């Protein structure tokens, strides 16, 4: 099976010398006759419309344009297309040159070259090569819990309440001591009653 033909769009860079010379001859004739030649009526209409809108270089209207300048409005994508085409040619030449050098390199040199290429590829800016983001410090987000309130001291209260606060622990101690004393007495009474029952 035959390989399919690859068609590429041609612009003035891809024209043959004969075509370029023909174009220059037509421009020379247009300048001499002060009349534009168009292939068809549609092309003439488009040119006249561009002139009316002011998209055409004023030198073209007065027939003072350069020999290499194209008629009609300037193509805004022309510079981009030329840059893409130039880059593609450079890449193609670079690939051919590398292919030739690969054939001439020894095995060790080839491996070193492949390692350099891998390192260069890993240094490119890509999502998988991006530096990981810093982890957020969530300690600031968490609400801090306050310590439980402390019991008021006599210095915190007004004098009329401070006396009651100081008296309260003393009364509690006395009450606790009495309860303890009673419990001790009841234990000792039960012990003595036990010992009395042992004697009998």
d(CA 103, CA 114): 13
Residue-range definition of the domain harbouring residue 28: 12-61
- The whole-number pLDDT of residue 6 equals 79
If asked whether residues 89 and 120 sit together in one domain, one would say yes
How large a percentage of the chain has pLDDT more than 70?
68
* pLDDT at 128 exceeding the cut of 70: no
* pLDDT at 105 exceeding the cut of 60: yes
- Residue 30, Cβ density class (10 Å: 0-12 exposed, 13-18 middle, ≥19 buried): middle
147 falls within a domain: no
Please check whether residue 39 is in contact with residue 61, taking contact to mean a CB–CB distance below 8 angstroms: no
d(CA 83, CA 88): 9
Angle, CA of 185, 190 and 194, to the nearest 5° = 145
Q: Which of 9-13, 80-84, 139-143, 145-149 has the lowest mean pLDDT?
A: 139-143
Mean pLDDT of all residues in the chain?
75
- Residue 27, Cβ density class (10 Å: 0-12 exposed, 13-18 middle, ≥19 buried): buried
The number of distinct structural domains making up the chain is 2
If asked whether residues 113 and 82 sit together in one domain, one would say yes
48 falls within a domain: yes
32 falls within a domain: yes
Q: Which of 12-16, 63-67, 136-140 has the highest mean pLDDT?
A: 63-67
Question: Does the pTM of the predicted model rise above 0.75?
Answer: no
175 falls within a domain: no
**Phi, psi (degrees; rounded to nearest 5) at 126:** -140, 165
If asked whether residues 120 and 83 sit together in one domain, one would say yes
- The whole-number pLDDT of residue 199 equals 47
Q: How long, in residues, is the chain? A: 200
């Amino acid at each position: 099976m035959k390989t399919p033909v690859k068609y590429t769009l041609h612009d003035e860079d891809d024209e043959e010398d004969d075509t370029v010379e023909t174009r220059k001859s037509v421009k020379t004739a247009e300048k001499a006759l002060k009349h534009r030649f168009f292939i068809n009526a549609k092309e003439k209409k488009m040119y006249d419309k561009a002139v009316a809108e002011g998209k055409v270089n004023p030198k073209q209207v007065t027939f003072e344009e350069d020999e290499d300048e194209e008629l009609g409005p300037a193509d805004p994508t022309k510079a981009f297309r030329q840059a893409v085409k130039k880059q593609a040619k450079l890449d193609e030449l670079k690939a051919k040159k590398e292919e030739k050098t690969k054939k001439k390199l020894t095995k060790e040199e080839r491996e070193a070259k492949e390692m350099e290429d891998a390192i260069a590829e890993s240094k490119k800016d890509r999502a998988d090569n991006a530096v990981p983001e810093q982890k957020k410090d969530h300690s600031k987000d968490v609400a801090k819990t306050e310590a439980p309130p402390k019991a008021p001291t006599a210095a915190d209260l007004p004098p009329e309440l401070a006396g009651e606060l100081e008296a309260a622990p003393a009364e509690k101690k006395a009450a606790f001591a009495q309860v303890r004393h009673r419990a001790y007495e009841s234990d000792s009474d039960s012990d003595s009653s036990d010992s009395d029952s042992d004697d009998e």
